[in-house]
A = this chain, B = another copy of it.
Amino acid sequence: MVLLDGRKTSADIKDEIALKVKEFKDSGKKIPHLAAILVGTDGASMTYVSGKVKACELVGFKSTLIELPKETSEEKLLQEIEALNNNDDIDGFIVQLPLPKHIDEQKVLLTVDPDKDVDGFHPTNVGKMALDLPCFLPATPFGILELLERYKVETSGKHVVVIGRSHIVGRPISILMSQKRLAGNATVTLTHSRTKNLKEITLRADIIVAALGKPEFLTGDMVKDGVTIIDVGITRIKDDSKKRGYRIAGDVHFESVAPKSAFITPVPRGVGPMTIAMLLKNTLLACERKQ
């Protein structure tokens, strides 16, 4: 059993990006600049955003954090987005989700200039992804592809079962892995809450991407020997034996699944760290495109 080490791989990618940034600096080129908009003070969102800002510093990017109070009107937020769209120094930016309920998330995402949409959430980027055209891939699926590639996990002709049809993970990874590409050319089955006999299906899978958001859902009896497991879940579970009072669980019951796996991502330190690395990679691409 080989651990797909997202922490190490993301560190490698950050090193590669930092090297690129140094080259840019040395040759007098523009330094990549990522901005993030955070509305409100949700704890998890603040953690995510500060992680992204720190990652920018680490690789030598410029970063700008725009913090808005949770009462911010939709109109005001759209104005901030337009300002970033029109700011030539900003290569890419993200609006941290979820947004307060009085703001229409879809309207916000549609306002982001697709050429600066380094989260890959704008319909134009999603469409280009589905049509296999150059675009910003959404960071989590992009990170999964990168992990599979770097560990040379064979995917061509393999049966991939994706659990969960979310717009940001399940749907895009099901599209990407069935395309003609590295970490692609797989036969992909997309399963979800309406799927019957899920266990029958997962038992036939060569690769399983678990992205449904139910802690420890996938158990050892549901997988065959030699399977490759990508665990996208990340849930806090109350655990009084821990200092901080909780532990982090994935969608996979690691103890029973790992012994049967050829490759498996741990949680934490699997897919999670890859997501930030790929956001940086998208920002680098956005900056390179303009040179």
Contacts and interface: CB of A to CB of B under 8 A. Distances in A.
Contacts of A192: 178, 185, 187
Contacts of A157: 194-196
B191 A190 contact: no
A128 B130 CA distance: 11
Interface residues of A, number: 35
A178 B156 contact: no
Contacts of A126: 126-127, 130-131
Nearest to A122: B127
18 contacts: A122-B127, A123-B131, A125-B127, A126-B131, A127-B130, A130-B167, A130-B172, A131-B167, A132-B167, A157-B194, A165-B178, A165-B179, A174-B190, A185-B192, A185-B194, A187-B190, A187-B196, A189-B189
This protein's copies in its complex: 2
A68 interface: no
Nearest to A186: B194
Nearest to A179: B165
Contact of A127 (B124, B185, B190): B124
A171 interface: yes
Interface of A: 106, 122-133, 156-157, 165, 167, 171-172, 174-175, 178-179, 185-192, 194-196, 201
Contacts of A185: 192, 194
A185 B194 CA distance: 6
A194 to B, nearest CB: 4
A85 to B, nearest CB: 17
A232 B87 CA distance: 48
B171 A175 contact: yes
Contacts of A190: 174, 178, 187-188
